[in-house]
Structure 1
Amino acid sequence: MTTPTPRHVFEVFTLGFLVREGQVLLLERRKPPNAGRWNAPGGKLEAGEDPIQGVVREFAEETGLVLQDPVLRAILCFHELDGRWRPQMIYTFLAHAASGELLASEEGRLAWWPVEQVLRDPRVVGNIPLFLPRMLEPEPPFVFIAAYRDERLEGYRIAPLLSAPVPISPTAGRPGPQAG
């Protein structure tokens, strides 16, 4: 078995898509990556933080709003084929409600966008139109795997996160008494 090297270790992030009345809240990022592009609020997970805690914290830090009942809709996995940056895994959540007051953000400008505009506007981060429509459908969560070269999308694949329900119990996967 090989020991993972830094190029094999994922950086772990969250994104939160807040959708209300056909509009989604986006942030025009001031800093890289995607500086000058519109993206969902989110950021890196902190040590010991689970993805739900992370998306709620990051969303609140960047917007002033606290997501209510965020639901995991996708896990995004990004790989740079040239090895310029470490692979990224992004837990991507959808929420339809939030509490608090929308505040100005140090991270960038916030605005509500019609979902249809998000799907066709070149100012939006380029991969969002590829996965957002599926996030908005009542389908099971999915994995979006994308490969980049020179920061350009080379290809992607979408697959269900689970193809069938998996029982999780203390005895799952252990041999037990045979029926009969």
Structure 2
Amino acid sequence: MAPRLYTQVHCLRDNQVLLMKRLREPNMSLWVAPGGPIASHESPNEAAVRSLQQDTGLHPEAVQLRGVVTLEMPRSPLPSVHFLYVVSQFTGRLKTDNNNGILHWWPVDETWQLPMPQANACYLPHILSQSGGLYQARYTYDADAYLVAVTLQQDDPIPAGIRL
């Protein structure tokens, strides 16, 4: 069986990043980037554009892949692979009625103090950094959903289990 695939889209403007406080599980009450599952007929880029439009009302001019991370959790039979994007040019009006969460622009240098999933807190500085290449890592959680290991991956641009 293949891993579950997701996108997360980090919109930037004026040194701020758009995050969403989740109103439901998973990650209820935590701040995350807009995004969601990749449909079977979509590429990761297509899913990133669709998810951003659905969640926020914003239309990206281009999406830039900045990271690919794998999350392994004992309570889930399959790992999940997240394609992490950055968008700096977009059009549209920010939605005020989002069933998934509350959208807010946060100064980038204040995001470290926000409650967010442990893996997100680890990779967010790398994703938002203007230097460096594609960030790749595997995050391993224990049975209590605590992050216990981070393995950086430098060589393989495609996570194991992904078929092209």
Amino acid at match of 1:48: H
Q: How does 1:19-34 map to 2 (within 5 A)?
A: 19-34=12-27
Partner in structure 2 of residue 153 of structure 1 = 147
- Residue 90 of structure 1 aligns with which residue? 82
Letter in 1 for 2:52: F
In the alignment, which residue of structure 2 is the partner of 1:142? 135
Measure how far apart 1:76 and its partner are: 1.1
Q: 1:161 to 1:115 in 2, by over 3 A?
A: farther
* Distance in 1, Cα, partners of 2:101 & 2:77: 23
Write the deviation string for residues 74-119 of structure 1: whole angstroms up to 9, x where unpaired. 0010001x24353100111011111111012111110001111112
Counterpart secondary structure, 1:55: helix
The letter of the residue matching 1:15 is Q
The AA in structure 1 aligned to 2:4 is E
RMSD: 1.6
Aligned to 1:130: 122
TM-score by length of 1: 0.80
Deviation, 1:10, is 0.7
Normalization by structure 2: what TM-score?
Answer: 0.87
* Aligned equivalent of 1:168: none
Aligned length: 154
Q: CA deviation at 1:158?
A: 2.1
Structure 1 residue ranges (4+ consecutive) displaced by more than 3 angstroms after TM superposition: none
Q: Which runs of 5+ in 2 are unaligned?
A: 158-164
1:1-180 → structure 2 map (5 Å cutoff): 4=1, 9-80=2-73, 82-104=74-96, 105-121=98-114, 123-135=115-127, 136-149=129-142, 150-160=144-154
Where does structure 1 lack aligned partners over 5 or more consecutive residues?
Answer: 164-180
> Highest CA radius of gyration, 1 or 2?
1
